[in-house]
Amino acid sequence: MAAEGKQKAEGKQKAEGKEKKAKAVAEAPDATALKAPPPPRRPPADPRLEVLKKFQGKFLPSGVLRDRYKAFMERWDSGEDHGGVTVEGLKALLDDWKATREKPPRLPKA
């Protein structure tokens, strides 16, 4: 019987603690309403930059791929609109470059 009394007392203390937390949570929105509104969002980054950055610091062997990359970079540096360089063109160059770097499939040992 004494154990039941202790459990009831602990239950009341827990309930009081929950009520205090609920009051604190209820008061919290008032405190956040006083804060300044968040700054305006940044404009989204140019999707071409994401693909272009993948070439940064990479080695392109001399040949067709390096020539294509140099042509893209000349057009990119040509003006404000980046010379009409497209995401599709950059992705095609990246895919071709990755294809040249793929290792041949390993043959199973007999």
Poorest-pLDDT segment among 28-32, 64-68, 104-108: 28-32
pLDDT mean across residues, the chain: 79
CB count in 10 Å sphere of residue 64: 11
Domain spans in the chain, listed from the N-terminal domain onward: 1-32, 47-101
pLDDT at 58: 84
Confidence of residue 69 (pLDDT cuts 50, 70, 90): very high
Taking a C-beta distance cutoff of 8 angstroms, is the pair 77, 90 a contact? no
* Tally: H helices and E strands in the chain: 4, 0
In degrees to the nearest 10, what's the CA dihedral of 60, 57, 90, 42?
Answer: 180
Mean pLDDT of 20-39: 62
